[in-house]
Chain A
Amino acid sequence: MHEMAIARNIVNIAVAAAEKEGATKITRINVVAGELRGIVPEQLTFSFGLMAENTIASGAYLNLEITPVVCRCRKCQDEFVVKGYHYLCTKCGSQDVETLSGMGLRVKDIEVD
């Protein structure tokens, strides 16, 4: 249930950003999470609902965008999407690959009234 800790942080970040702009109600929060984070969307939505209670984020729609794991092969420089956590260059078969994305976890933007 690390979704609970993540949901609490999302609420804190969104509320702080909204208050800074003088907003009183958050209607939507756009979150981008890398696939490697292994977030269960249903659990995050549920946890978010609990954490947002009695804040200006209460009732806001939490939009979760999952970004794929993208790697670059150090041998042939090809970039590819990792499927099934198989870290293998799809072009030359090398295992010497670096992760470019798929670990991110951020609040991208919010919509407020």
Chain B
Amino acid sequence: MKINVMTDILEANDRIATANSEAFKENGNLVLNLISSPGSGKTSLLEKTGDALKGKLRLGVIAGDIETMRDSERLQKHKIPAVQLTTGSACHLDANMVASALPHVDLKKTDVLVIENVGNLVCPAEFKVGEDHKIVILSVTEGDEKPLKYPLVFRESSLLLINKIDLLKYTNFNLKEAKANARRVHPDLEIIDVSCVTGEGMDEWIAWLNRQYQKKFGTKPRA
């Protein structure tokens, strides 16, 4: 006997993601799901971002890692409230894991909540966690062909940050090619070149954050 099912396989995840997203809206949080390979500079970017936003938008972080509390410890040194999620062996955060971290985040005192996903360009792209935007980081030491190898994350992201731009001259990374590859899979993808070392592009990145916050809540961020 055949039984018609037609059920979305990620429905259970998406339902929780929607609930998370409602909680974020109610609490005034712009939520960003930050995805990249391991070692591309997610935590460094957040340290710099926290410093740049001081006295303006209040940043909070939920950091996902397979093991260790290192990322949240690094962020706390920069006075960024951070909750660490250790996933054990899971290669991505899902909506339920993020929901389990929410009681430990002071959402009322957070303007921008970044969910720092597990370092991986494949699996995190599949699971909505309740974010407003996915942001993908590609660092110049990884290679300019990555958007073609891992198209989904580049297709799903609103913004691509090309990080470690200060190292460009030491690599064979072709910046023009990388951007063309990214726009081949996502023609209207926004792209910002950044360096957490020299600070290049940080103003543009902070302006992007402010713009998104304003778009979502219709108010100017506290200056």
| A66 at interface, CB cutoff 8 A | no
Distance in Å: Cβ of B24 to nearest Cβ of chain A: 23
| B7 at interface, CB cutoff 8 A | yes
B-facing residues in A1-58 (Cβ within 8 Å): 1-2, 5-6, 9-10, 12-14, 17-18, 21, 23, 31, 36-38
In the complex the two chains form, what is the Cα distance from A88 to B91 in whole Å?
A: 32
B-facing residues in A73-113 (Cβ within 8 Å): 84-88, 95-97, 104-113
In the complex the two chains form, what is the Cα distance from A23 to B1 in whole Å?
A: 9
| Given contacts A38-B152, A87-B185, A6 and B9 within 8 Å (CB-CB) | yes
Chain A residues with CB under 8 Å of B5's CB are: 13-14, 17, 106-110
A-facing residues in B73-109 (Cβ within 8 Å): 90-92, 94
Distance in Å: Cβ of B88 to nearest Cβ of chain A: 12
Chain A residues with CB under 8 Å of B187's CB are: 87, 95-97
Closest residue of A by beta carbon distance from B155: A36
Residue from the list B3, B122, B151, B155 in contact with A110, Cβ < 8 A: B3
Closest residue of B by beta carbon distance from A13: B7
Chain B residues with CB under 8 Å of A6's CB are: 9-10, 126
Distance in Å: Cβ of A55 to nearest Cβ of chain B: 16
| B223 at interface, CB cutoff 8 A | no
| Given contacts A13-B7, A87-B186, A109 and B2 within 8 Å (CB-CB) | yes
B7 x A106 contact (CB < 8 A): yes
Distance in Å: Cβ of A29 to nearest Cβ of chain B: 9
In the complex the two chains form, what is the Cα distance from A106 to B1 in whole Å?
A: 19
Distance in Å: Cβ of A16 to nearest Cβ of chain B: 8
A106 x B3 contact (CB < 8 A): no
Distance in Å: Cβ of A48 to nearest Cβ of chain B: 12
In the complex the two chains form, what is the Cα distance from A55 to B12 in whole Å?
A: 20
Closest residue of A by beta carbon distance from B124: A2
- Top-7 shortest CB links A-B: A2-B123, A95-B187, A85-B151, A107-B5, A85-B185, A105-B9, A17-B5
Chain B contact residues, CB within 8 Å of chain A: 1-10, 12-13, 90-92, 94, 122-123, 126-127, 148, 151-152, 155, 183-188
Interface contacts beyond A2-B126, A108-B5, A111-B2: sample of 16 additional A-B pairs, CB < 8 Å, sorted by A:
A2-B91, A2-B123, A5-B92, A5-B127, A6-B9, A14-B5, A17-B5, A23-B1, A37-B126, A84-B148, A87-B185, A88-B184, A105-B8, A106-B5, A109-B2, A112-B1
